[in-house]
Structure 1
Amino acid sequence: MPQPDTIPAQRAQPGHRVLCIAYPRAMSLDITGPMQVFATANDVRQRQGLPAFYELVFAGLEAGPVSLSCGLQILATQGLRQLRPGANSTVLIPGGDGVVEVQHHSGLRQWLQRTAPKVQRLGSVCSGALILARAGLLDGLPATTHWCRLAELAAMERPIQVEGDRLHTFDANHPQQRHIFTSAGVTSGIDLALGLVEADLGRSMALAVARHLVMFVRRPGGQAQFSPLLAAETTQAPRLAGLLEWIPGHLGERLSVEQLAAQACLPPRTLARVFQQELGTTPARYVERVRLQAATTLLSQRQASVSTVARICGFGHPENLRRSFHKTLAVSPQAFAERFGTG
């Protein structure tokens, strides 16, 4: 769908309305997380003697109570037919289990298509990106969603630039990406909302809100650091099942292609071909992923130092571990341990 030329402003207009469209079995945090960021910005402004900037509207497919995936009910004060969002509005579409059905809701799809050219901004949280994609609103744009929905988004026959390791695609300096945008899994909707506050009210306000909510104003790394690294199960690769079960117990060894081939009783070339056919990767890359998974587990449990983790997981030198972390998770081993350590 063509992007409007009538919404070039980077900053939201005074008295800005934020409309969140709830639907049955939407995820509560996809709704309350971003909306609390805007509410906190209002609180900070009022403590500074300034008027509230955001007007928060909870709407639904129809007016009335909406049951969310956690069992909580919220009251939608307006339904789609009553909503009249204008150029001073931001519309947010949450994700959740209910997206499976609601992405095919023709009334919502048509409302989004009519509304998109009229509002200043329209974005999604988590799997809400699937709803925008079904409406054709992500065509030609970068988009992300929850890591478990990325394949579904990529499988849609739409010209969407799926980017799996971004927390959100809002870009205040890019006309299209500050008009229509997406965010990744669940709490990344809060990161998105902070980005919108920064664009509207400046970095100092975004910092004040982040400080109040005890969070990063810009979280380092992408969503890959939260998703399972090892999606391939041994059931997907029956010819390699024995080898895949053997590898985790021998990570400290060299694990060359020749050693892996000998363990699997296959010639090295055949092993490489089977890995590519059944797992879509090379033996060396698969081993690195298993080593990285083991390292993240040890670091999150605070069971060993970075240098010890590097050694016992087969990275050898800590620098090799650091490079692997930055390449895959966009964060250092030290930062990962500090952020996710539970021991």
Structure 2
Amino acid sequence: MSAQTSDTRLIVCYAYDEVMSLDIVGPLQVFATANDELLSLGRARTYENMVVADDAAPVKTSCGIRLYADMALRDLDLAGVDTLLIPGGNGMPERRKDKALHQWVRDAEKQIARLGSVCSGALILAEAGVLDGRMATTHWSRCDEMARDFPKIKMMGDRLHSYDPTGFDGDPHVFTSAGVTAGIDLALAIVEADFGRNLALSVARRLVMFLKRPGGQAQFSSYLIPQKGATARLAGLLAWLPGHLEQDLSLDVLAGRAGMTPRTFSRVFARDMGMSPARYIERIRVEAARALLQDEAMTIAEVATLCGFRHPETLRRTFQRHLAVSPQEYVERFARKSLSPV
């Protein structure tokens, strides 16, 4: 393979038998769509996508389709690679035993600008030792396993990815992402680092994504956390809440909507949801405020009112308690207009 030109960024994804197909094609489609957006602006295509495997041959993915590897990894000139991504999948446990692969990953880490993983591919990076001392995440179902097996890693299970070009809230060189679609969020973050927020948002719109989520966002929406026990008595209330966060959501009001006495409601809610009603309301209000602040469409005072905090100071205190940052710091970190193109 010839070395890439100065205006080309080679994105390489490693494939193996029983890999998760979306871990590969999701991020690579982001980079391909970024090329489309660049062309629409009269600019040159920048990203070149490549799939490598142990051999230049078809690789069977976990969903049954086959991806054809462009090149055997042993033939890849790492000096010409901008970004290398290691995906996850059902075949990942076997890759954890592959010492030759681990050495290749260590060699790659020394030569390329960006080394990342998608989903459970983080455990391959962990086996190679390149995550020691670094912040990392992985699919929620593997977080405990990763923390147990690799105590030198700073596990951050409740986030989408650990990439940050500034090094402020992640790592610009070696990074990881959570389950499956979080690989798309990671790829969008890389596009933003390369060309700015506006282009990344254009890519997200073209892919019909709801929004471009920051890496620090939780893997789960508060509304999607698995609920303990039988929740049939609360189902109607839980569906109603997100659209009425600005209203009075006191215990008496919630109990009345659920058709219970306050005492019974508190007991049922804590049993079925694993937390008090007040704690749950606070969590979904914070999540709603985060989403609104990321879009830069409203002032902090307007967000505070719309999400039921009533006053910006209440929002500030709640943000500090949950996220250890102020709303203003959150806006500056995650809702900036763009990064300088490089």
Normalised by the length of structure 2, the TM-score is: 0.68
Matches within 5 A, 1:189-200: 189-200=183-194
- Taking the TM superposition and a 5 Å limit, the aligned residue runs for 1:1-343 are 14-86=7-79, 88-174=81-167, 177-215=171-209, 216-218=211-213, 221-225=217-221, 228-229=225-226, 248=230, 299=238, 310-311=254-255, 312=258, 314=266, 320-325=279-284, 331-332=287-288
Q: CA deviation at 1:64?
A: 0.4
Displacement after TM superposition at 1:181 (Å): 0.1
Q: Larger radius of gyration, structure 1 or 2?
A: 1
Q: Is the 8 A contact 2:53 2:69 kept in 1?
A: yes
Structure 1 CA distance for aligned equivalents of residues 243 and 39 of structure 2: 47
**What do residues 168-223 of structure 1 show as CA deviations (whole Å, max 9, x unaligned)?**
00011018810000000110000000000000111111111011112212258411
Displacement of 1:298 = 5.8
C-alpha separation in 1, matches of 2:154 and 2:196: 29
Q: Is the 8 A contact 1:27 1:68 kept in 2?
A: yes
Structure 1 distance, partners of 2:113, 2:282, is 41
Preserved CA contact (<8 Å) 1:298 1:304: no
Structure 1 position 318, deviation (Å): 7.6
Q: Secondary structure at the match of 1:222?
A: coil
Cross-structure match for 1:8 = none
Give the Cα separation in 2 of the matches to 1:334 and 1:228.
17
Q: Secondary structure at the match of 1:167?
A: coil
**Cα 1:165/1:44, change in 2 over 3 Å:** same
Cα shift at 1:334: 12
The structural deviation recorded for 1:46 is: 1.4
Q: RMSD over aligned Cα, in angstroms?
A: 3.4
Q: For structure 1, which runs of at least 5 residues remain unmatched after alignment?
A: 1-11, 232-244, 252-293, 336-343
SS of the equivalent of 2:111 reads coil
Percent of paired sites with the same residue:
43
Q: Which amino acid aligns with 1:322?
A: I
Q: What secondary structure sits across from 1:208 in the alignment?
A: helix
Equivalent position amino acid for 1:120 in 2:
A
Alpha-carbon distance in 1 for matches of 2:64, 2:134: 34
How far off its partner does 1:48 sit?
Answer: 1.9
**Aligned CA distance change for structure 1 residues 249 and 63 (closer, same or farther; 3 Å):** closer
Q: Check conservation: 2:12, 2:81, Cα contact below 8 A.
A: no
In structure 2, what is the Cα distance between the partners aligned to 1:249 and 1:124? 36
For 2:231 and 2:202, the matched residues in 1 are separated by 47
User: In structure 1, what is the Cα distance between the partners aligned to 2:139 and 2:34?
Assistant: 26
**CA–CA separation in structure 1 for the residues paired with 2:187 and 2:232:** 44
- 1:137 and 1:250, CA in 2 relative to 1: closer, same or farther beyond 3 A? same
Cα distance in 1 for residues equivalent to 2:241 and 2:68: 43
Q: How many residues align?
A: 264
Q: Distance in 1 between matches of 2:24 and 2:185?
A: 13
Gaps of 5+ in 2: 259-264, 271-275, 292-342
1: distance between equivalents of 2:77 and 2:7? 17
Alpha-carbon distance in structure 2 between the residues aligned to 1:322 and 1:332: 11
Q: CA deviation at 1:300?
A: 5.3
Query: In the superposition, relative to structure 1, how do residues 310 and 135 fare at CA in structure 2: closer, same or farther (>3 Å)?
Result: farther
